[in-house]
Amino acid sequence: MRFFGGWSYNNDVLNAKDWVHQSYANGVPMGADLPPMKGTAPTFVVWAVKDPTSGNLDRIQIIKGWTKNGQSFEKIFDVAWSGDRKLNKWTGRVPAIQSTVDLERATYTNTVGSAELKTVWTDPEFDASLHAFYYARVLEIPTPRWTLIQAVKAGVPPPDIVPLTGQERAWTSPIWYTPSAEARKNAPAGMTVADLKKKGAAALGDAQLKTLVVGKAFWVRNNVTGDQFSVTYTAEGQSNVWHVGTSATIPSSVGDPLRSGYDGTTTPYKIENGKVVTIISQDPFAVTIYKLGDTYYGARSNEFGYANYEIIPTPQIVSNPLTAMINQFSIDLGLSEQQKQQIAPFLKQELMQLADLKKNTSLTPVQKLEQLKQISSSVEAKITPILDPAQQKKFQAMREENRRKLIEELGRKLLQRTESELKQLM
């Protein structure tokens, strides 16, 4: 692998015979710091070639990390990939490549993937005021995991508690970006504990915390990212975070709130020494809650003195999902007021039908899937004629993504039910 970063790479630099020389001349290699900023965003040149004795390449990813107001983040960008796969417009990720692994023989074929991948990529979300790092990672196509290979050689069933395949990978050293003093001055200041105390905020004691949180559920906003989520603290000492979507920018060291909220997996918590202490992967993280007027702010122990969280009223999307849905449609599709009034009754009808479908325990997941398709098709047939051609194209893309997510959920539940029934039979 080769990985370079700079401010002035041309998109066609990889077509030059001396592209490596140009990359050194106009930037820095992996492991170095980006030179002082000379453009609007850094550009990276990345190249990878397969190991002659291993699998073809699936994709190249660039992983970006950054910090803001005491919170650290990472994000994965798919930047180059084999085949004609397309980026998902909602997630920005490329679908999984086909697996050629023969599980009975523990073999694979290089009939998919590429021998070489390369690209020039510019960070689309660059913020000149934030410290950041970038490194490249290349993934091979799926190949048999060593546990499967050993099991096949020994003639025994493979273990069922680990994956049977894996994707070998290689990665580069990072390239670092440090903002200038002037850029740092222009960054919006976050709320700190010191700021709160200057304004007269007081930290809650144990008794006040128990009154506020135990047996309660409330909405919180991360003021660094703007994301909103619901937090539940049961009287039995368990907590959970709900309504975290795949588009949320999640700080590090928070566990897996997306999956935990989806699956209903709880995390132990306790109140001691004026803090709400949550155990995440066996490590304790404490939140001190401050009250300023009628507003409550939360300062997490690993966020360097920032009070990044605020308890907020229930968002409109929860208190009035129909209004929230109409507003989102209006923004995404550019609806006129007349179109909004025409579409509202159809969306209301769909919400009621989906709610009834969710409550119906007499249907199997497959039957629910068929009902879902019928409900969606009926509503789309009524809404589509109201939209102009450009709106219709966006509408169909939105509906396909929503339908995919619902189908995945039903499919997962069907798989869980099947596994449960098999365990009972065994």
What pLDDT digit, counting tens, does each position of 21-57 carry? Answer: 999 999 999 999 999 998 899 999 999 999 999 999 9
Q: What is residue 426's predicted lDDT score, i.e. its pLDDT?
A: 46
Q: Please answer whether residues 230 and 245 qualify as being in contact, where contact means their C-beta atoms are separated by less than 8 angstroms.
A: no
Q: What is the pLDDT of residues 70-79, one digit of tens each?
A: 999 999 999 9
CA distance 120 to 365: 45
Name the residue among 139, 143, 144 with its Cα closest to residue 170: 139
For residue 412, the cross-strand partners are none
In angstroms, the Cα distances linking 300 to 100, 234, 265, 384 are 46, 20, 21, 47
The confidence band for 417, taking pLDDT boundaries of 50, 70 and 90, is: low
Position 166, amino acid: G
Long-range contacts at 24-30 (CB < 8 A, ≥ 24 apart): 28/4, 28/175, 29/2, 29/3, 29/4, 29/175, 30/2, 30/3, 30/4, 30/135, 30/136, 30/172, 30/173, 30/174, 30/175
pTM, two decimals, is 0.74
Q: How far apart are CA 372 and CA 377, in angstroms?
A: 9
Listed range (63-72, 106-115, 385-394) with the worst mean pLDDT: 385-394
- pLDDT value at residue 422: 44
- Write phi, then psi, for 423 (nearest 5 degrees): -60, -40
Beta bridge partners, 102, equal 107
- The answer to whether the CB of 106 falls within 8 A of the CB of 118 is no
Quote the distance between the C-alpha of residue 253 and its chain's center.
14
- pLDDT tens, residue by residue, 210-233: 999 999 999 999 999 999 999 999
Whole-angstrom Cα distance, residue 317 to residue 338?
22
Work out whether strand 116-122 and strand 43-49 pair parallel, antiparallel, or are unpaired. antiparallel
Task: Using DSSP, state whether 266 is helix, strand or coil.
Answer: coil
Q: How many helices (H) and strands (E) does the chain have?
A: 11, 20
Kindly tell me if the per-residue pLDDT of 375 is higher than 60. yes
DSSP 307: -
Answer for the pair 188, 276: CB distance below 8 angstroms, yes or no. Answer: no
End-to-end, the C-alpha distance of the chain in Å comes to 49
In contact, 2 and 44? CB cutoff 8 Å: no
Phi and psi (nearest 5°) for 46? -135, 140
Q: For the segment 151-192, what is each residue's pLDDT rounded down to a tens digit? A: 999 999 998 889 999 999 999 999 999 999 999 888 888 999
Give the contacts of 24 (CB within 8 A, at least 6 positions apart): 4
CA 60 to chain centre: 18
Per-residue pLDDT tens digits for 234-268: 999 999 998 887 778 888 888 888 777 777 788 89
* Distance, CA of 156 to CA of 150 (rounded, Å): 9
The DSSP letter of residue 46 is: E
pLDDT for res 302: 93
Contact (Cβ atoms closer than 8 angstroms) between residue 286 and residue 279:
no
Q: Express each pLDDT in 306-364 by its tens digit.
A: 999 999 988 765 656 666 667 667 777 888 888 888 888 888 888 888 878 877 878 87
Taking residue 203's Cβ as centre, other Cβ atoms within 10 Å add up to 17
Helices 337-359 and 321-333: angle between axes, nearest 10 degrees: 130
Sequence-distant (≥ 6) Cβ neighbours of residue 52 within 8 angstroms: none
Is residue 393 within 8 Å of residue 333, measured between CB atoms?
no
**3-state SS class at 58:** strand
Spatial neighbors of 35 by CB under 8 A, at least 6 apart, are 6, 7, 27, 28
